[in-house]
């Protein structure tokens, strides 16, 4: 018996292979692959492999998710990257936002920056 999902929300046949169900469970419900696997009574790898193959994981590449979080909910790239389902840096989120024209900029030009560009001051040597 599922704990976080009702029987009505789970497709009858192979829910771990259903892209609509996985997208809804991961992006709308905010459930992890581990939680979904527990709810369905399958191995975590079954959910993860199918979610990767179907493009459901990697929410920073999912335009509706980025649009919902950035435009509708008003979260910053830092706040989006800090969410549990996003296992990436704020720069990766900014690249996704730029790729879908949600922010200005070329996604290929958004970088982490280089240490030598951060400042010319070096710490004084200690004796």
Query: In whole angstroms, what is the distance from residue 29 CA to residue 123 CA?
Result: 48
**25: number of Cβ within 10 Å:** 27
Question: Tokens 């690249």 label which residue?
Answer: 95
pTM of the model: 0.55
How far apart are the C-alpha atoms of 85 and 59, rounded to whole Å?
8
| Domain extents in the chain | 7-53, 59-99
pLDDT in tens, the chain (127 residues): 556 777 778 887 888 888 888 988 887 888 888 999 998 889 999 999 888 777 677 788 888 889 999 999 999 999 999 987 787 899 999 999 999 999 988 888 887 766 555 555 555 555 5
For residue 64, CA distances in Å to 6, 68, 91, 124 come to 24, 6, 18, 49
């Amino acid at each position: 018996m599922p704990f976080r999902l009702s029987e009505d929300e789970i497709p009858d046949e192979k829910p771990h292979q259903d892209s609509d169900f996985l997208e809804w469970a991961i992006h709308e419900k905010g459930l992890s692959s581990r939680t979904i696997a527990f709810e369905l009574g399958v191995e975590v790898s079954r959910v993860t492999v199918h979610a990767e193959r179907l493009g459901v994981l990697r929410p920073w590449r999912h335009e509706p998710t980025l649009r919902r979080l950035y435009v509708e909910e008003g979260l910053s790239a830092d706040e989006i990257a800090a969410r549990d389902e996003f296992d990436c840096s704020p720069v990766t989120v900014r690249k996704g936002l730029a790729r879908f024209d949600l922010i200005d900029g070329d996604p290929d030009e958004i970088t982490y920056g280089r240490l030598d560009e951060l400042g010319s001051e070096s710490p004084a040597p200690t004796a």
